[in-house]
Amino acid sequence: MDQTAARIARTIADQIAATPAQVGAAIELLDGGATVPFVARYRKEVTGGLDDTQLRTLADRLTYLREMEARRATILDSIKGQGKLTDDLARAIAQADSKATLEDIYLPYKPKRRTKAMIARENGLEPLLRAILDDRNADPQVLAQGYVTEAVESVKAALEGARDILAEELSENADLLGRLRGFMQKEAQIAARVVAGKEEAGAKFRDYFDHRESWATIPSHRALAILRAAKEEVVTIDIAPDPETGVPRAVGIVCAAIGIPGEGPGDRWLRDAAGWTWRVKLSLSMYVDLLSDLRRRSHEEAIAVFARNLKDLLLAAPAGNRATLGLDPGIRTGVKAAVVDATGKLLETATLYPFQPRMDVRGAQSEILRMVRTHKVELIAIGNGTASRETERLVAETLALIDGPKPTKVVVSEAGASVYSASELAAQEFPDLDVSLRGAVSIARRLQDPLAELVKITPESIGVGQYQHDVDQRRLAQALEAVVEDAVNAVGVDLNMASAPLLAHVAGLGPSLAQSIVRHRDENGAFPSRKALLKVVGLGPKAFEQCAGFLRIREGKEPLDASSVHPEAYDVARRIVQACGRDIREIMGKPEALRGLRAEQFVDDRFGLPTVRDILSELEKPGRDPRPVFKTATFADGVEDIKDLKPGMMLEGTVTNVAAFGAFVDIGVHQDGLVHVSQLADRFVKDPHEVVKAGDIVRVRVTEVDIPRKRIGLSMRKEGGEAQARGRGVSTDGPNGRGGPGGNRPPRAPAPKGNGGSSSTGALGDALKAAMKRK
């Protein structure tokens, strides 16, 4: 490992609580084309057990640090080319630990446009500055008289030129910039002021019309709200230390960099020049730096919130392989219906018109009953959009006509269904199907398996983000793609059932290889084994190594193909089976058969203890799904509109979005309620994700109802032992929750809401209003 690589490994190791050796091994694997899921799952011995979170952070930091090292080399070459590189300067560049510090050091040597300081030097004014610095008892006014020339018209002009030179030197002083930046990061305040005349147009931002708080501690959601308000020219932003106490301290830091020990005429002039430099140059430089840092920090936190919410939704409980009727509600255009079989294959579609203007209720009920009986439908998925309540009621009345077992009705989110319906992928999958009917198929399938269906939709369209359209879109896309990849590989994929979009997220594959796999499957039938993947055009040994362990073949020739045991370790698994003295099919899924075996017995020169332990666990529960068991909760009738809500009501709902300031809960009134972070538990909660996740069923108490502003305040704090989280699962809510326990509301699937718009908000003020609306 060269010196640069070793430095990078040490830096990352400190940040992810690992050793440089672990980091170096992981970097070598990633550089060699290995994927994060593969390294995390199948190379534990090599990396010392680094998990996927550590590896994702490692990969991100590796990119940043390599870019910084490249910039370090460029700066060194540039300064060396100018003939100005000294040993001290080279040492300072080598020790710089951030891009900002590197750029501070490079400032004096960076090619720049013609400046006032350059002009002052050309006019012979640099000696005047040196004279002032060298003799503080001399009067600068007197000294400047000797520098009045045709180019320098007056004493005032001469002193201004000297000041320009000093200001530029101070603005390029890396040590001073570092100290000022550290001071500002601790002491600066961010202040927002409304632009005159924008009070009405920007009413939703009125919490920030006259707002001030610490730059260091402002939560990301408030920072993003202020940044958005500034972008919409509703407020102006300032980032500065306290005018009374902070500014004098900042100027003092500048004075210290100059060295102003006394009260002589030169000292007084230099002190004034330091204050002027702070006001005109350095404060602006610090403002730009801190604004950039604030934006980056807020973006990263918002992206992290989005990623956590997305992961929770992707790993939501699947209803399983059961015939499902999907209903996409509509009034004038009708209710679109689609039946899919247990594998998700489309069987039939129809359009029902039970509402205005046709009001063909009987015909709609007859059609639903026919489809249920014909296709042995076990689940009915109802989209949560417009007319969802009416459709839910229609289904309930229809199912009441059935004697005996009835399908379970579940309200699911339509988020992104319209995006999928109009996509090229949907057109390829259903070329002859109307766009509106494709949405009903998506709704049905996402109940069966949320992960398999949601991967067909761009994550941004799922609408569980925090100011998602305001953040760095490239970083957002990278983070969300990583979440999808990790979720897909954590669950595993049925090789003979999976769609191309799902296969595309398997480690080592991608859209092109996924299409090749599906094409091969269509032409040659189901894959009999994992090894048969090597017959797919374009899929070589490296791709096979990366993907094989995450693909499952149920009831194939090789029992281990249904597990997460990698083919490279089949020999170890067979040695374990031989030690049991029984057929592998008799052992898999029977922990008692493996009792008495010690993992240490099967370690060899290729596979260490972590891998052997994983194999033993997999033999105990082969192909296990890490997602929770599908559950439902039941709600009573009677609360269908925000007007039905009253403070004190106890309701059940589904967490649809978790932000830094609290959780949004669908309680069934076409309007999400907000459980502020302070109302999540009877203890201090720093991060709402400690208490709830998107998809959780929770029991809440209504604390506030503001009908005109469409705001609902909720609490999960105990009141007589009530109002507690009920854990993961699905809610029996309609498109928007029902009040009270004990009724017969349909279950609600833990799926996202929204149509891809920004679904997050600012603080509890009006900035919340837009996000609290159903997308």
Stronger pLDDT, 754 or 25, i.e. the higher one: 25
pLDDT at position 632 is: 63
pLDDT at position 247 is: 94
Q: Is pLDDT at 590 greater than 90 in this prediction?
A: no
CATH assignment at residue 392: 3.30.420.140
- Please report whether residue 273 resides in a domain: no
Range in 239-243, 314-318, 484-488, 739-743 with the lowest mean pLDDT: 739-743
Please answer whether residues 115 and 105 qualify as being in contact, where contact means their C-beta atoms are separated by less than 8 angstroms.
no
Q: Is pLDDT at 743 greater than 50 in this prediction?
A: no
CATH assignment at residue 516: 1.10.150.310
Q: Is pLDDT at 731 greater than 60 in this prediction?
A: no
Q: pLDDT tier at 701 (50, 70, 90 boundaries)?
A: very high
Beta-carbon contacts of residue 573 (< 8 Å; ≥ 6 apart): 560, 565, 584, 615, 619
Q: Return the amino acid letter for 446.
A: R
Q: Is pLDDT at 746 greater than 80 in this prediction?
A: no
Q: Return the amino acid letter for 678.
A: S
Two tokens, residue 657: 């979005």
Q: pLDDT tier at 152 (50, 70, 90 boundaries)?
A: very high
Range in 85-89, 113-117, 592-596, 710-714 with the lowest mean pLDDT: 592-596
Beta-carbon contacts of residue 368 (< 8 Å; ≥ 6 apart): 325, 337, 352, 394, 395, 398
Statement to judge: residues 442 and 514 lie in one domain: no
Q: pLDDT tier at 756 (50, 70, 90 boundaries)?
A: very low
- Please report whether residue 47 resides in a domain: yes
Statement to judge: residues 585 and 530 lie in one domain: yes
Nearest 5°: CA angle at 423, between 420 and 427? 105
Q: pLDDT tier at 754 (50, 70, 90 boundaries)?
A: very low
CA distance 336 to 360: 14
CA distance 82 to 24: 35
Stronger pLDDT, 623 or 743, i.e. the higher one: 623
Q: Which residues pair with 324 in a beta bridge?
A: 340, 379
Range in 353-357, 581-585, 636-640 with the lowest mean pLDDT: 636-640
pLDDT at position 634 is: 53
| pTM check: above 0.85 | no
CA distance 769 to 767: 5
How far, CA to CA in Å, does 12 sit from each of 5, 15, 85, 685?
11, 5, 29, 29
- Please report whether residue 712 resides in a domain: yes
| Average pLDDT along the chain | 86
Statement to judge: residues 648 and 610 lie in one domain: no
Range in 202-206, 342-346, 618-622 with the lowest mean pLDDT: 618-622
Residues 431-436 have a mean pLDDT of 90
Q: What is the pLDDT of residues 52-78, one digit of tens each?
A: 899 999 999 999 999 999 999 999 999
Statement to judge: residues 606 and 649 lie in one domain: no
Q: pLDDT tier at 652 (50, 70, 90 boundaries)?
A: confident
Two tokens, residue 695: 């998809």
CATH assignment at residue 739: 2.40.50.140
CA distance 35 to 19: 20
Q: What is the pLDDT of residues 8-54, one digit of tens each?
A: 999 999 999 999 999 999 999 999 999 999 999 999 999 999 998 99
- Please report whether residue 551 resides in a domain: yes
Two tokens, residue 604: 């060899």
pLDDT at position 735 is: 30
Statement to judge: residues 18 and 102 lie in one domain: yes
pLDDT at position 775 is: 33
Statement to judge: residues 61 and 11 lie in one domain: yes
- Please report whether residue 536 resides in a domain: yes
Beta-carbon contacts of residue 286 (< 8 Å; ≥ 6 apart): 180, 181, 184, 188, 239
Identify the DSSP state of 327: E
Identify the DSSP state of 374: H
Burial of 115 (0-12, 13-18, 19+ CB in 10 A): middle
Q: Is pLDDT at 739 greater than 70 in this prediction?
A: no
The domain boundary, picked from 589, 620, 651, lies at 620
The domain boundary, picked from 74, 109, 144, lies at 109
* 3-class SS of residue 328: strand
pLDDT at position 737 is: 34
Please answer whether residues 438 and 420 qualify as being in contact, where contact means their C-beta atoms are separated by less than 8 angstroms.
yes
Q: What is the pLDDT of residues 334-380, one digit of tens each?
A: 999 999 999 899 999 999 999 988 999 999 999 999 999 999 999 99
Q: pLDDT tier at 536 (50, 70, 90 boundaries)?
A: very high
Statement to judge: residues 593 and 504 lie in one domain: yes
- Please report whether residue 280 resides in a domain: no
Q: Which domain holds residue 333?
A: 324-448
Percent of the chain with pLDDT over 90: 54
Nearest 5°: CA angle at 440, between 436 and 444? 165
Stronger pLDDT, 218 or 637, i.e. the higher one: 218
Residue 664: enclosing H or E segment and its boundaries?
strand 662-666
Q: Is pLDDT at 722 greater than 50 in this prediction?
A: no
Burial of 137 (0-12, 13-18, 19+ CB in 10 A): exposed
| Order of strands, sheet of 335-340, starting from the edge strand that comes earlier in the sequence | 346-352, 335-340, 324-328, 379-383, 408-412
Q: Is pLDDT at 714 greater than 80 in this prediction?
A: yes
Residue 284 CB coordination number (10 Å): 12
Give the burial string for 325-364 (b: 16+ CB within 10 Å, else e): bbbbbbeeebbbbbbbbeebebeebbbbbbbeeeeeeeeb
pLDDT at position 390 is: 85
Q: pLDDT tier at 736 (50, 70, 90 boundaries)?
A: very low
Residues 249-277 have a mean pLDDT of 95
Q: For the chain, how many structural domains are there in total?
A: 4
Give the burial string for 104-114 (b: 16+ CB within 10 Å, else e): bbbebbeeeee
- Please report whether residue 40 resides in a domain: yes
Query: Which residue's structure tokens are 């990366």?
Result: 546
pLDDT at position 221 is: 86
Statement to judge: residues 16 and 83 lie in one domain: yes
Cα dihedral across residues 616, 619, 625, 630: positive or negative: negative
Query: What DSSP letter does each residue of 119-151 carry, written as one string?
Result: HHHHTT-HHHHHHHHH-TTS-HHHHHHTT--SS
Residues 604-609: contacts with CB within 8 Å, 24+ apart?
Answer: 604/572, 607/45, 607/569, 607/572, 608/44, 608/45, 609/45
Q: What is the pLDDT of residues 156-179, one digit of tens each?
A: 999 999 999 999 999 999 999 999
Could you tell me whether strands 493-494 and 551-552 are parallel, antiparallel, or unpaired per DSSP bridges?
A: parallel
pLDDT at position 725 is: 41
* 3-class SS of residue 484: helix
CATH assignment at residue 87: 1.10.10.650
Statement to judge: residues 587 and 685 lie in one domain: no
Q: Is pLDDT at 224 greater than 60 in this prediction?
A: yes
Residue 38: enclosing H or E segment and its boundaries?
helix 36-42
- Please report whether residue 84 resides in a domain: yes
Question: How far is CA 733 from its chain centroid?
Answer: 27
Could you tell me whether strands 711-715 and 673-676 are parallel, antiparallel, or unpaired per DSSP bridges?
A: parallel
Q: Is pLDDT at 721 greater than 60 in this prediction?
A: no
Range in 4-13, 460-469, 509-518, 654-663 with the lowest mean pLDDT: 460-469
Q: Is pLDDT at 723 greater than 90 in this prediction?
A: no
Please answer whether residues 628 and 728 qualify as being in contact, where contact means their C-beta atoms are separated by less than 8 angstroms.
yes
Statement to judge: residues 548 and 423 lie in one domain: no
pLDDT at position 604 is: 86
Two tokens, residue 292: 């950039």
Residues 264-285 have a mean pLDDT of 95
* 3-class SS of residue 444: helix
Stronger pLDDT, 453 or 131, i.e. the higher one: 131
Stronger pLDDT, 273 or 672, i.e. the higher one: 273
pLDDT at position 774 is: 32
Query: What DSSP letter does each residue of 601-638 carry, written as one string?
Result: GG--SS--HHHHHHHHHHHHSTT---SPPP------SS
Statement to judge: residues 518 and 408 lie in one domain: no
| Order of strands, sheet of 189-194, starting from the edge strand that comes earlier in the sequence | 210-214, 189-194, 235-240
| Conformational region of residue 685, where left means phi above 0, alpha means psi within -120 to 50, and beta covers everything else | beta
pLDDT at position 286 is: 95
pLDDT at position 350 is: 95
Statement to judge: residues 682 and 751 lie in one domain: yes
In 3D space, the residue among 722, 666, 716, 668 whose CA is nearest the CA of residue 692 turns out to be 716
The domain boundary, picked from 586, 620, 654, lies at 620
Q: pLDDT tier at 591 (50, 70, 90 boundaries)?
A: confident
